[in-house]
Amino acid sequence: MTETLPGYVLQLLGAIAVLAYGIGSIPFGLLLTQLGGAGDIRAIGSGNIGATNVLRTGRRGLAAATLLLDGGKGAFAVLCGFILSPFHTAPAMAVAALFAVIGHCFPIWLKFKGGKGVATGLGAALALSPLTGLACCALWLGVAKLTKISSAGALAAFVAMPVLLAVLNGDPRGPIPVAGLLIALLVIARHHGNIRRLLTGTEPRIGRKTP
């Protein structure tokens, strides 16, 4: 993805990666639940800092805000990559998208114990390719509504995302499709527990409070 780029561009991409990681690592779910009086989200439900677990507090407003902010940081990181590297925008945006999701999943502030990257990954996808992002969001919502299981919708969306990026980008080996594939693999890997529970029929339903 970067082998044909000059050295100074690689240095710039490194700086963009650090910036995107910092943006992605902001734990909005934790901050909002604490500020909103819902307690420490890490001690509730699955312990995840994402919107689905925030919803288990019964605070729908906090869950919606978490979803929007987590998605927003993915899109904002990609926008930063676009602005900071105007002559190599595709590699910069791809690096920013990937590292924003990595930051969300492994935030240094929380000892690298973060979320699963769904909202941040979808936000990044919307910025990388609006059509892909919208299709993945629709797929996520549609499957989640049909099954009442958020993780099922997320997995469906991220299985489709690299395929859509490759088709719409025109070059499956380009930086944006490659970043999409890596993001999808990371998000799916972060759902290993959910996949196991889906197979055994024990995955929690949307909106169910978990002690």
**Is residue 32 within 8 Å of 62, Cβ to Cβ?**
yes
Angle formed at CA 187 by CA 186 and CA 191, multiple of 5 degrees: 115
pLDDT per residue over 50-92, tens digit each? 888 888 887 889 999 999 999 999 999 999 999 999 888 999 9
Q: Is residue 209 part of a domain?
A: no
For residue 197, name the pLDDT band (cuts at 50, 70, 90). Answer: very high
Q: Considering its fold, how many domains does the chain have in total?
A: 1
For residue 162, name the pLDDT band (cuts at 50, 70, 90). Answer: very high
Q: At what angle do helices 7-24 and 60-84 cross, to 10 degrees?
A: 170
The pTM assigned to this predicted structure is 0.91
Q: Is residue 184 part of a domain?
A: yes
Q: Is residue 187 part of a domain?
A: yes
pLDDT per residue over 87-131, tens digit each? 889 999 999 999 999 999 999 999 999 999 999 999 999 999 999
Q: Is residue 206 part of a domain?
A: no
C-alpha span between 30 and 140 (Å, rounded)? 23
Q: Is residue 205 part of a domain?
A: no
Mean pLDDT in residue range 8-22: 93
Q: Is residue 207 part of a domain?
A: no
* Structural tokens at position 207: 């909106």
Q: Which domain holds residue 122?
A: 7-200
Q: Helices in the chain by DSSP H: which ranges?
A: 7-24, 28-35, 51-55, 60-84, 89-105, 118-128, 130-147, 150-169, 175-190, 192-200
Residue 6's contacts (CB-CB under 8 Å, 6 or more residues apart) are: none
pLDDT at position 208, please? Answer: 56
* Structural tokens at position 173: 């080996």
C-alpha span between 180 and 30 (Å, rounded)? 26
C-alpha span between 105 and 99 (Å, rounded)? 10
Q: Is residue 84 part of a domain?
A: yes
Q: Is residue 208 part of a domain?
A: no
